[in-house]
Structure formats: structure tokens, C-alpha cells
A and B are shown apart, each in its own frame.
Chain A
Amino acid sequence: MKYVDEYRDGAIARKLIDEIHRITTRPWSLMEVCGGQTHTLVKQGIDEALPSGVRMIHGPGCPVCVTPLEQIDKALVIAARPDVTFTSYGDMLRVPGSTTDLLALKARGADVRIVYSPLDAVRIAAANPDRQVVFFAIGFETTAPANAMAVYQAARLGLRNFSVLVSHVLVPPAMEAILTSPTNQVQAFLAAGHVCAVMGWTEYEPIAAKYRVPIVVTGFEPLDLLEGILMAIRQLESGRAEVENQYARAVKREGNRQAQETVFRVFEPGDRTWRGIGMIPSSGYHLRPEYAAFDAESRFDVGTIHTAEHPACIAGEILQGTKTPLDCTAYGVLCTPQKPLGAPMVSSEGVCSAYHAAGRGIAAPTAFPLFDFSAAAVREAVGAKEADR
């Protein structure tokens, strides 16, 4: 595929790795913000090919992972209603709530549907006027223009049976929360390219200056990540702290103005709680008062929610970059992609799922994750083969 394959060239990757080794004189800790970047780094083993002192800390940029448990429990209460058709991006369905998940609800008969685009949810509402159609509007700045457009279109169509359960989060406040944490070790950021495709990078300039931290807007292919790392280390080695753009083919400084206009027509910034991290001031979007009629939280009475995280799950520390999945006692044992305890094991952008897919820290191969590799199962399978002969 054009604009994909050429950024996966192994020979150029080798050159970039050599150059990173050549210029690095000291240990450095870099954070890739986005979970999509984490998956590429781990899958390709890029983080392991870096000079020994250079560490990639995985950031909180996994929208599914940071959606607070309370919002998931609210989604579960709303989705269980007989009059509701609950629509969501697919990777939200298996995220564990306090007692169950959306997929299990669906199996028990709830009308839960996966949509590819939020406009699909609007179409479902228009076609089913007797159903209350609710869309789980989660995501970072990348997803906000799509979710905002769905609300805007529903308003234009006068749909009274469409609403959204909003859980939108923003990258710059999270970066500041990380930088001001007393345990912070991040010395440079690879900013998420697609967040910046929407928002541009002007918001990052004051952060780079205030905290003296290099920020490189970076793409998602292996060569993008390697170049982003190289640019960040160049800055660190020379004592610079600027915003640079590695992902020039997709990102402009001012971002996408049309998208921003629709986002701010529908949403306004406000405080948000991040799963595993806590409340970060002004770190999310809420519906503007003009669109309050589309707020699922006020349309449906969800009652009092008592949340309960699984006690073994350390997703919060992993999301903040202070621990890795390999520090977790549940990882790969109690918690697997088939039976996740926490959201980072579910999402295609979660750190735990990235590690598990790459087979890190687990004895059994994961190429066939549906197979049972327990000793008993293996014995049984071998025995069956012997019997076949």
C-alpha cells in the first residue's frame, strides 16, 4: 500500500538505528504518547534495537484504556435497557466494567452494535425512530471531529432518538500531568501524529518551552518512529527543547481547521477522569449546552454507580509509564486477551495487548492465541495424535 510499505523498508530502518546509536552518548527516556505507536514499536522490536540506555516509556494514548470505569458501567446500564440500541466502536465491547462487559450483555440479548463510523449510528437512529440509539463517543482529539459530526448531523436531522455517552480526552493536559508528576522520568515525547493532524502542534509549543522537553510529532510506521526517536535524541543531545514535525506528509502546524471548527461547535473543554490515572483538569470534551439534549447521561437515569477495579490489575501505573506489563503478576496468567482484567489487554492500542501479541514475558507461543497451551491440554492433544496413528 502506498504511503505504508515504503515506510517499512528494513534497509533504511537499519540506517536509522545505526544513526541513533552513533549520536547517543547518554541514557535517555522517551515517551511515545499513542498506543498505536506502542504497538508498532513492540511488534517490530524497535524499542529493543535502541542503544541500551535509551528507554521507551509507553504513554496513556489508548482511548479505550483511559475511558473511566464509571463511564463503562453507565454504558452497561444504558445498553441493558430494552428500548435502547447501543452503538460503539468495536474495541470497547470487551473492556471490562465492574461486573460485566458490553459483549456479554449483547450475548444475553441486549441490542449492542459495533459501528465503524459514528455516522452509522446516526443512520441507525434515522431508520429506527422507535428505538433510542445511543453512541459511545470516546476517543482523543483524532476521533472528536467524527463524533462531533455525528451529533451535529443528528441535530440537523432533528433526531430525537439519538444521544451520545461522551468520554473524550485530550493529549496536552495528560502530557502536563505526566511532566509534573514527582515520579516523572520522561525527557522527550513522540507526540501522536493523528491527534496533531486534527489539532496541529501549537498547543505543544508552550509545553516544550515550559518543561524544557523536546516534542516530536511522529507518524505510525516503523521508519516514522525511528526518525521521530532520532530527532528527539538529537534535540536531547544538543540541549534543545522544541516542537519538531516528523510526520510532515500528514500534519500541518495549524492542524485541520474545518475539523476543529465542528469539534468546538459541539464540544467544550472540561475536567475528565482517566481510568487508572484520576481526574485531570480540562483534559476532556463535554457537549456544549446547545447540544445538551443529545447527552445520554441526562436522557437516561443511570442511578448510583459503584465501581470496582480488579484488585490484581495495575493498568493505572502501566498507563502512567511507571510500570510495564512485565511488572504485573496477572499479566499472561490471570489476564490474557481472551480473559482481560483491564482495558490495556483488550484494546488494539493497549500496552498489555501489544506485549502479549509480541510474546513478551510469556512462555507459550501466542501465534494461535485461541489454543490452550496448558500442560493438560497439550498432553491431551499429543495423546489424540498418537491415537490417530
Chain B
Amino acid sequence: MCLGIPGKVVEIRDSGPLKMALVDFGGVRKEACLEYVPETEIGDYVIIHVGFAISRVDEEEALRTLELLQMIDELALEQELGAMPDEPAVGDAGDAGGGGAAAGATA
């Protein structure tokens, strides 16, 4: 019951007392209330719980998490090898290191 599902806002209906939307969940469309995420626009993804949008999905954060997850083994390898500043791959290592710090700081 606490389950929330991400869906795409395909229509906004704000003629009634509450700001409502039609939300598409992979082909299934349902009405949901947007009162708690009033800044939502058509095309945005929102997390719907019992007919209410409780959060707007942050695309940048979503991509960042996925990128970090994809290179988790590389980060691990780097940690094991330790920093090697003279290696030609320093640019990549720097980026990855930054990502590693952000892994804690996705917090």
C-alpha cells in the first residue's frame, strides 16, 4: 500500500478544486492528484501513491545514480589499486573519483 509507482504526466486538469492529472504507467492511464507537486508539467515523471503524486522524479539524479552503478566495478578496482597520478588515464580516474565521492554524497 505504501508502494509508489513512477508514471508520466500526459494531461493536466486544473479546472476543478484540485489540480489533477492523467498519468501513464507503461500504457495504463489513471487519474492522480498533483496538489503536492504543483510545479509538475506535462511530460514529467511523478511518483504516484494512492492517487496522489508525492514526488517529481529528478531526471539528473536518476541518470547520475545509474552512471555510478554502471561503473561500480571500475571504482572498486581503482580503490584497490590506489591512486596512480602518473597514469595517462588520470582524467578518467579523476572523473570516476569525483563520482565515487558523490556516491556517498548522493546522500
Contact flags A18-45 to B (C-beta < 8 A → 1, else 0): 1100100000000000111000000000
**Chain B interface helix/strand/loop/mixed:** mixed
Any B CB within 8 A of the CB of A305:
no
Any B CB within 8 A of the CB of A373:
no
B73 — which chain A residues lie within 8 A by C-beta?
Answer: 15, 18-19
Any A CB within 8 A of the CB of B107:
yes
B interface, size bucket: 35 or more
Contact flags B49-65 to A (C-beta < 8 A → 1, else 0): 11110110111011011
**Is the Cβ of B36 less than 8 Å from the Cβ of A145?**
yes
Any B CB within 8 A of the CB of A91:
yes
Any B CB within 8 A of the CB of A153:
yes
**Is the Cβ of B4 less than 8 Å from the Cβ of A91?**
no
A259 and B50 alpha carbons, distance in the complex (Å): 14
A234 and B6 alpha carbons, distance in the complex (Å): 29
Any A CB within 8 A of the CB of B94:
no
With A146-B51, A249-B58 known as contacts, the answer to whether A140 contacts B2 (CB < 8 A) is: yes
CB distance from B86 to the nearest CB of A (A): 26
B57 — which chain A residues lie within 8 A by C-beta?
Answer: 3, 249-250
A residues bordering B, Cβ < 8 Å?
A: 1-4, 6-7, 12, 15-16, 18-19, 22, 34-36, 61, 63-64, 89, 91, 116-120, 138-140, 142-143, 145-146, 149, 153, 156, 192-195, 197-198, 220, 223, 227, 230-231, 234, 242-246, 248-251, 256, 258-259, 262, 347-349
B residues bordering A, Cβ < 8 Å?
A: 1-6, 8, 17-18, 25-26, 30, 32-33, 35-38, 45, 47, 49-52, 54-55, 57-59, 61-62, 64-66, 69-70, 72-73, 76, 103-104, 106-107
